Amino acid sequence: MNRREFLATAGSAVAAQSLRGRAAMADPIERKVLWAATVRNKSLDDRIRAARAGGFDAMSIFPVDFVTWTAEGLTGRQIRQRYDDAGVKLAIVDPFVQWVPDFDIPGGYPAENIPFIDHTEDDVFRMAEELEATQINVVEGLGQHHEFATLVDALGRFADRAASRGLRIGHEPMPISSIATLQQGWDLVRTIDRDNLGLTFDTWHFWRSGPDHALLRAIPGEKIFDVQLADATAALKGDLLNDLLRHRLLAGEGDFDLVTTVKILRENGAYRSVGPELFSDAMDALDAETVGRLAGENMAAWA
């Protein structure tokens, strides 16, 4: 079902109206984030156009994009200024993978993917400083097992170093990771227990890793720093990684019960910083303003 079919159906219209009704009763969304994945093949200026077309006031940035744009001659401060001038905050550096203990890129790792993850702690702290970002998102991105205690120690120490710089850390569990489920991610965040450490909650990851709404309801809303919206078909398209990186859908276009998920996020006060994260071949094929407009219209239905 495409976006127009979704919005045209009576059931979905009722769901969207119900969501808007709850929004009127709950705290409003504080920040609308256009996550970099949604515009991953767009230029810096096109990403700004997309954000403005969709009414987003914040964006994330991949570390590899920072490296690319500074290699082209811009400084971090110049990048930040372009976004600031457009009324869009570059708020989140995402993702950072080298926080795990004894990080090492394994032999055989695809060479074309190395630039996406080859950034040190000093690198991402410098990026955040120059961009005046307020958050760094971390993932265990290689699917490598680590003892829980060593992860607690490593992420706790990283969160402390981030706190000294005024930065928050969002941890994002992913089904392709060794920290695969919301339960595993929450266990880590809860055990470390730092004020500046919380969860980045991705609806695609949640639904692809065995959704647990009872657990979601039990997590304090203030410990979910961001909500990333994405849908998908019930059946994988290809394997898990292929589905993740190519076939995400706008909220309501797929088969996930996002109405229930979002309802719980609202009820526990977690639905504050929200936006689409769409690794999507279909989005890649569209021009920037169309991507932004479609994403913004979708956000309006789920705001």
pLDDT tens over the chain, length 303 residues: 343 343 333 333 334 444 444 433 444 799 999 999 999 999 999 999 999 999 999 999 999 999 999 999 999 999 999 999 999 999 999 999 999 999 999 888 999 999 999 999 999 999 999 999 999 999 999 999 999 999 999 999 999 999 999 999 999 999 999 999 999 999 999 999 999 999 999 999 999 999 999 999 999 999 999 999 999 999 999 999 999 999 999 999 999 999 999 999 999 999 999 999 999 999 999 999 999 999 999 999 999
**Which of 243, 171, 168, 172 lies closest to 202 in space, CA to CA?**
172
* Residue 113 identity: N
- For residue 38, the model assigns a pLDDT of 98
Give the pairing of strands 135-138 and 197-202. Answer: unpaired
Where b means 16+ CB within 10 Å and e means fewer, 173-195 reads: bbbbbbbbbbebbbbbbeebebe
168-171 and 197-202: which strand pairing? parallel
What pLDDT sits at residue 28? 73
Domains and CATH numbers, the chain: 3-302 (3.20.20.150)
Beta bridge partners of 136: 93, 169
Burial class (CB in 10 A: 0-12, 13-18, 19+), 2: exposed
* Helices 148-163 and 182-192: angle between axes, nearest 10 degrees: 60
Residue whose entry in the numeric block shows the structure tokens 């009414």: 55
Q: How far is CA 76 from CA 64, 81, 85, 107, 119, in A?
A: 13, 9, 14, 32, 15
pTM over 0.75: yes
Helices (H), 164-236: 182-192, 203-208, 213-218
Q: How far apart are CA 188 and CA 256, in angstroms?
A: 26
